[in-house]
Structure 1
Amino acid sequence: MTPDPDGTGGSAGSAEVTLYVYAVVPAGDHRPRVSGIDGAALDVVGPVGGPRAVVHRHAAAPYDGPDDDVKLWILQHSDVVEDAWEGAGAVLPVSFNVIVRPDAETGATAEAQLTAWLMTEGPALRRRLDELTGTSELRVEVSLDHEEYAASNAEMRQIADEMADRPAGVRRLLEKRAEKMGKEITDRAADDLYPELRTRIAGHCVEIEEYRSPARETGLVPVLTASCLVRAPRQQELGAELSAIASEQPAVRIRFLGPWPPYSFAELPGADPA
């Protein structure tokens, strides 16, 4: 499969028929219930025994335009992926703007090119689709509220007590010291919490993919940001675990998003543009 994410495969209005690819699904009779980008009619192509690809027939360059247009196209692309996820039972999402072209040297059509790739990579695709059946991706972000944690810390309370009866000049010096110490204490607490919280969260996941991300809000210190691949029966268990963590640690802030198709766990074999 030859993705064309940069516009080199043709220009708008070209008569060359290409295939815009949304997702790979298992064998079966999945029929899309939604339209594609800009209302495009969807089709499912590939070997009868699967896996197969959800596509629309495309006679233009890859999608490119103002930011608002691109955001809309990405949402429409995601709608097709979610429909495939719900309708086929498992899905391997394909990135936005992956387009398969005919082979100019052999004369193979875009559909023949895509079908050949699906057949070549079939065993690996089937194996991964089997692993993803009945799963969802959930996003978990755990942070510490710096102000609340520092206020509950014995060292910080001691400094606050020291400042209470000091002259204004001394208080300013102590406030600077307290600010620096509070950040160090909260950072250390986040590091200390990480291994326990990761173990508790990972215990409900098939797989977990971590990310480094800046604090979502001022005053929050990140502890863990991860995408979790979770089977349907374990979703409520993971939610209950996060509620328990929040109850045990009043300064912890948790953001829990999803469920979504397994975007972070859908690496496609043999699909590197190189």
Structure 2
Amino acid sequence: MTADQSDRTADVETAVDDELLPEIDEGRYLYCIVRANEGDSLETTGVDGEPVSVVTEDGIGAVVHACDGIYDSADLTQVRRWLVRHQTVVDEAGEAFGTPIPFQFDTILRGDDDGVREWLREEAATLEQALSALAGHWEYRVEVVETDPISDDALCDHDARLRELASKIDDAEEGTAYLLEKQFDQRLTELRAARRESVTTDLKRRLDEHAREVHTLERSPTASLADDVSKSAGGDGSDGETCCRLTLLAHEDDEGAIGSILDDVAANDGLEVRFTGPWPPYTFAPELGDNDEPTETHTHA
């Protein structure tokens, strides 16, 4: 990596901090890395309708398009269109070449195709290892939703402490009853949390037998491209209460076994399972380079 590349990265970090866009005379917008050979192509259009190409070096290809600036807009609808198009190109690259190593939206390498080839040579060892490790593996998202939550009465029937508190509340004076009701509500909260934890732990244990990695996600996610795509494919998540959200990295040959496990969970009354994928392994892709990495990313809030 050249000193000039390090300086360019620092310049971009400053520009983003100052809410200014860096000037790029010539650059390559990076979608993903794939296994590819000279002459391979991807017949699709990218962000803003730009023609996409595959720049290769020694069996490794970068899916790119030529650009002269960062993609930035105050129009959230426009940004969403860019994001979805970025995802579509990565998906199409995965279909054409196998599991890709995806980049974040708006990752740009300064320079022309020769600059891309130089970067591919510099990162060859890391890219080769990552492509080999991820070959045939995809990311899957799982959400378990309690569409018919267990009632307070049902929880009370199965918990001696709740029954005890309910009995005391009936016989207590107003002030004491208020404190006991707070304890009753706290116990309900604890039991519901324990139930969610039990569902999550059991599901992770079973999925671990067929997935290479399984990670728990926040039950109430912030908006993101991955969530937008998942919603369009597997429901909007608006009905019921989420018990757990998981993301897993699994080989495509294990998708059927994973689906069977999720069918078993969905067979439980009051539970619904939302399963989406396969997606490119965004969560599991390695970070390329180091602090001097010659790529520039502008993130939209």
Name the TM-score class by shorter chain. 0.7 to 0.9
Per the normalisation by structure 2, the TM-score is 0.72
State the partner residue of 1:105. none
Q: Which has the higher contact order (CA 8 A, sep 6+)?
A: 2
State the partner residue of 1:24. 33
Q: In the alignment, is the contact (CA less than 8 A) between 1:209 and 1:264 conserved in 2?
A: no
Unpaired runs of at least 5, structure 1: 103-109
Unpaired runs of at least 5, structure 2: 222-236, 294-301
Equivalent-residue separation in structure 1 for 2:291 and 2:106 (angstroms): 14
1:75 aligns with 2:84: yes
Equivalent-residue separation in structure 2 for 1:266 and 1:242 (angstroms): 25
State the partner residue of 1:267. 286
The AA in structure 1 aligned to 2:105 is: F
The AA in structure 1 aligned to 2:87 is: S
The AA in structure 2 aligned to 1:155 is: D
State the partner residue of 2:241. 220
Q: In the alignment, is the contact (CA less than 8 A) between 1:38 and 1:73 conserved in 2?
A: yes
Equivalent-residue separation in structure 2 for 1:206 and 1:273 (angstroms): 30
Equivalent-residue separation in structure 2 for 1:32 and 1:46 (angstroms): 12
Q: How many residues align?
A: 259
State the percentage of identical aligned residues.
Answer: 26
State the partner residue of 1:39. 49
1:155 aligns with 2:159: yes
1:214-269 per-residue CA deviation (whole Å, 9 max, x = no partner) reads: 386697364x4221112222112111101212335x35443322221111111242
Q: In the alignment, is the contact (CA less than 8 A) between 1:30 and 1:87 conserved in 2?
A: no
**Cα 1:271/1:34, change in 2 over 3 Å:** farther
The AA in structure 2 aligned to 1:44 is: V
Q: Residue 46 of structure 1 aligns to a residue in which SS? A: strand
Q: CA deviation at 1:52?
A: 1.3
1:66-110 per-residue CA deviation (whole Å, 9 max, x = no partner) reads: 1111000011111110010000012111111111113xxxxxxx3
State the partner residue of 1:119. 121
State the partner residue of 2:100. 91
Deviates more, 1:19-28 or 1:202-211: 202-211
State the partner residue of 1:9. 22
Q: CA deviation at 1:123?
A: 2.1
Q: In the alignment, is the contact (CA less than 8 A) between 2:46 and 2:89 conserved in 1?
A: yes
